[in-house]
Structure 1
Amino acid sequence: MRVERGRFVTGSLMRHVVVMALSGALGLSFTFLIDFLALWWISRLGDEAMIAAVGMAGTIQFVVISVGIGMMIGAVALVSRTIGQGEASRARRIATVAVLLTVAVQATLAALIWVFREPLLAATGAEGAVMDHARTFLGITLPSMPLMAAGIVSSSILRAAGDAWRSMAVTMVAGAVAAVLDPVLIVWSGWGVAGAGASIFAARAAMCGLGLFFVIRVHDLLARPAREDIRTFLRPYLAIALPAVATQVSAPFGSWILTREVAEFGESAVAGWGVVMRLTILAFGGIFALSGAIGGIIGQNYGAGRPDRVAGAYWAALKFCAVYTMVTWALMAGLTGPIVASFGLSSEGEAIVRAFTHYAAGAFIFTGALFVANATFNNLARPLWSTGANWFRDGVLMLPLGVAFTAATGAVGVIWANALANVIAGGVAAFLAWRYIRSLNRTEAVAAAAE
Structure 2
Amino acid sequence: MLEGDIPKTLLNMTMPMILAMIMLMTFSVVDTFFVSMLGTTELAAISFTFPVTFTVISLNIGLGIGTSAIIAKYLGGGETEHAKSIATGAIILSVLLVALLSLLCFLLLQPIFMAMGANEETMPFIRDYMGIWLLSGIFLALPMVGNSVLRANGDTKTPSVIMAVSGGINALLDPLLIFGFGPVPAFGIKGAAIATAVAWAVCVVWILYLLAIKRQLIEAKLLNFEDFVQASSGVLKIGLPAAGANMLTPIAGAIITAIVASYGTEAVAAWGVGSRLESLACIVVLALSMSLPPFLSQNFGANKWHRIESAYMLCMKTVMAWQFLMFLLLIAFAPYISAVFADEQLVRDKIELFLFIVPLGYGFQGIVILTNSSFNAMHLPLSALILSVIRLFMCFIPIVYLGSLLFGLLGLFWACVIANFIVAVVSYLWFKRILVKNRVDGIVSTATN
Greater Cα shift, 352-361 or 289-298: 352-361
Alpha carbons 2:74, 2:301 under 8 Å: kept: yes
Matching residue of 1:208 = 204
Greater Cα shift, 366-375 or 228-237: 228-237
How many aligned positions are there? 443
Matching residue of 2:190 = 194
Matching residue of 1:226 = 223
Describe the superposition over 1:280-335 as per-residue Cα deviations: whole angstroms up to 9, x where unpaired. 11221221232221110000011122111111111121122123212322222222
> Is residue 97 from structure 1 mapped to residue 89 from structure 2 by the alignment?
yes
C-alpha displacement of 1:158: 1.2
Amino acid aligned to 1:367: Q
Matching residue of 1:176 = 168
1: CA distance, partners of 2:170 / 2:372: 31
- 1:436-447 superposed matches below 5 A: 436-447=434-445
Matching residue of 2:338 = 340
**SS, match of residue 128 in structure 1:** coil
> Is residue 361 from structure 1 mapped to residue 353 from structure 2 by the alignment?
no
Amino acid aligned to 2:355: T
Equivalent of residue 153 in structure 1, options 145, 164, 181? 145
C-alpha displacement of 1:266: 1.0
Alpha carbons 2:69, 2:379 under 8 Å: kept: no
Amino acid aligned to 1:168: S
Equivalent of residue 108 in structure 1, options 85, 94, 100? 100
C-alpha displacement of 1:115: 1.2
Alpha carbons 1:79, 1:157 under 8 Å: kept: yes
Amino acid aligned to 1:129: E
1: CA distance, partners of 2:398 / 2:437: 35
Equivalent of residue 40 in structure 1, options 33, 46, 50? 33
Describe the superposition over 1:80-100 as per-residue Cα deviations: whole angstroms up to 9, x where unpaired. 111111121111111111111
Equivalent of residue 49 in structure 2, options 45, 50, 57? 57
2: CA distance, partners of 1:142 / 1:405: 34
**SS, match of residue 294 in structure 2:** helix
Alpha carbons 2:90, 2:231 under 8 Å: kept: no
2: CA distance, partners of 1:389 / 1:355: 29
C-alpha displacement of 1:14: 1.6
> 1:210 and 1:326, CA in 2 relative to 1: closer, same or farther beyond 3 A?
farther
> For the aligned residues, what is the CA RMSD?
1.6
Amino acid aligned to 2:134: L
Amino acid aligned to 1:349: V
> 1:261 and 1:20, CA in 2 relative to 1: closer, same or farther beyond 3 A?
same
Alpha carbons 2:41, 2:122 under 8 Å: kept: yes
C-alpha displacement of 1:113: 0.7
Describe the superposition over 1:22-42 as per-residue Cα deviations: whole angstroms up to 9, x where unpaired. 322322332221121011011
Aligned identity (percent) is 27
Greater Cα shift, 382-391 or 418-427: 418-427
2: CA distance, partners of 1:324 / 1:295: 20
2: CA distance, partners of 1:271 / 1:84: 46
Amino acid aligned to 1:179: A
2: CA distance, partners of 1:28 / 1:217: 26
Greater Cα shift, 336-345 or 144-153: 336-345
> Is residue 88 from structure 1 mapped to residue 85 from structure 2 by the alignment?
no
Greater Cα shift, 293-302 or 372-381: 372-381
Alpha carbons 2:60, 2:144 under 8 Å: kept: yes
1: CA distance, partners of 2:415 / 2:92: 38
Amino acid aligned to 2:11: V
TM-score where L is the length of structure 1: 0.94
2: CA distance, partners of 1:17 / 1:318: 13
Amino acid aligned to 2:36: S
Amino acid aligned to 1:18: L
Amino acid aligned to 1:213: Y
Alpha carbons 1:147, 1:204 under 8 Å: kept: yes
Matching residue of 1:273 = 271
1: CA distance, partners of 2:56 / 2:62: 10
2: CA distance, partners of 1:25 / 1:407: 38
2: CA distance, partners of 1:207 / 1:356: 34
Equivalent of residue 393 in structure 1, options 391, 394, 398? 391
Greater Cα shift, 143-152 or 287-296: 287-296
Matching residue of 1:217 = 213
> 1:324 and 1:220, CA in 2 relative to 1: closer, same or farther beyond 3 A?
farther
Equivalent of residue 4 in structure 2, options 2, 7, 11? 11
2: CA distance, partners of 1:211 / 1:283: 28
Describe the superposition over 1:232-266 as per-residue Cα deviations: whole angstroms up to 9, x where unpaired. 23332211111111110111012111100010111
**SS, match of residue 273 in structure 1:** helix
- 1:113-124 superposed matches below 5 A: 113-124=105-116
C-alpha displacement of 1:401: 1.6
C-alpha displacement of 1:385: 0.7
